[in-house]
Amino acid sequence: MARVKLAYIGGGSTRAPGTVASFIRQSANFAGSEIVLVDLDEERLGLVRRLAERMIEAQGADLRVTATTDRARALPDCDGVLSSFRPGGFEARALDERLPLARGAIGQETQGAGGLFMALRALHVTRGLVEDMARLCPGATLFNYTNPVNIVAQGVADHSEVPVISLCEGPIVFPLELARMAGLDPRRVEATMVGLNHACWSVEARYDGEALLPRLERALEGVTDPWSRRLLHLAVTVGSIPASYMRYYFYEEDMLRELRARPTTRAQDILAEVPDYWAHYREQVDSENPTLDPARSRGGLFELELAVDVMDALFNDRGEVWPCNVVNRGAIQDFPDGQVVEVPCLVDRRGARPLSGFRVPAPVRGLLHALGEYQGLAADAGWCGSRRDALRALVSNPLVRTLPLAEALYDDLARAHRAYLPERLW
């Protein structure tokens, strides 16, 4: 089994203990490996390191965990770098959600104006990270979980030589969620989804080996939950299972009305839970048998498990197929070869190579083309562009559309996030 050195950027976050649990569960595949936790918050980083050591010891895993606040000390000799960080924390995400809503636009972590500013903040940090990787661990692969994963990967792919694989569980979980909405057993679903991150659609979906869509259509009449009905109706109408994020585009007015009616945003809800996450982690450090409670751990028990699966397939040359965000190279006929797409990939020691022969459903092709153009503009602006470049990206976004709205949103968000943006984007 592969013995590797991995740096985990964001290793002092609320989701880090669950990520370590994922590594422990697959520790036999990484026997003798070192995981270096990297974070800016020294106190929380130390807590995660101590908890990780206690969990590893309790379960007899052959793993070593170290920690540092200095990225340059972590990277030398690394075989891979796992990136999962949030510049500005959930407080910044709350601004991404609230400020657009105040102007009558969708406010969301990865979509619309909020999604652009998450991308701009993330790319500012990611550029420095990959420059350090090229200097200190040339040849290492970046396994990216930092949102928006497609825009981050596009920036890295277009502007550096560092191999990048961006990851999201969406293509795995979206069909299962829709099956649950229809009252079906998700364990009997098999589906393949392609497109862009948070904008993927099924090209094949089966239930017990038979077509899934007719079953969804038959189940629709008995579904009473409004949002379940909307998503099922969308799937049946298009003839393809959508990413759940498609609700922001195909039910924009309904979604906007609902978001504005809520007393808090999703980020504010998470912030209310964060103190209990850390209290739970502190309790487990002192426990004889440290065990994470899924209800008190950010994201559940096994976080970023897809990243661990993909690392295992790559470093151990398994030749497995996993959904990844990689450069298209002809895999999906509807996108340029250089576009980062979400697609099934064959993962082995040569990297993640996209399977080919796919097309996205015709009814949504135009929307995905627009989102793809926005993705490229946002990636360039965040990596090396100006305020005007970023504004061009924003006005191209299908959830913004008008120049006056784009300018107002940009002013609001750039002012709010000034501390986390390079001066060229102010």
Residue numbers belonging to the annotated binding site: 93, 147, 168, 198
* Burial group, residue 43, by CB count within 10 angstroms (0-12, 13-18, 19+): exposed
* Burial group, residue 55, by CB count within 10 angstroms (0-12, 13-18, 19+): buried
- Which residues define the annotated binding site for substrate? 93, 147
Q: Is-catalytic flag, 245?
A: yes
What does the buried/exposed string (b/e) look like for 362-399 if buried means 16 or more CB atoms within 10 Å of the residue's CB?
A: eebeebbbbbbbbbbbbbbbbbebeeebbbbbbbbbbb
- Of the residues 207, 245, 248, 277, only one is catalytic, namely 245
Distance of CA 114 to the CA centre of its chain: 15
Task: Calculate the alpha carbon distances from 118 to 151, 168, 208, 302, 366 in Å.
Answer: 10, 16, 40, 24, 24
Dihedral of the alpha carbons of 257, 264, 173, 33, in degrees to the nearest 10: 150
- Which residues define the annotated binding site for Mn(2+)? 168, 198
Dihedral of the alpha carbons of 111, 116, 117, 121, in degrees to the nearest 10: 110
**CA end-to-end span of the chain:** 48
Catalytic residue set: 245
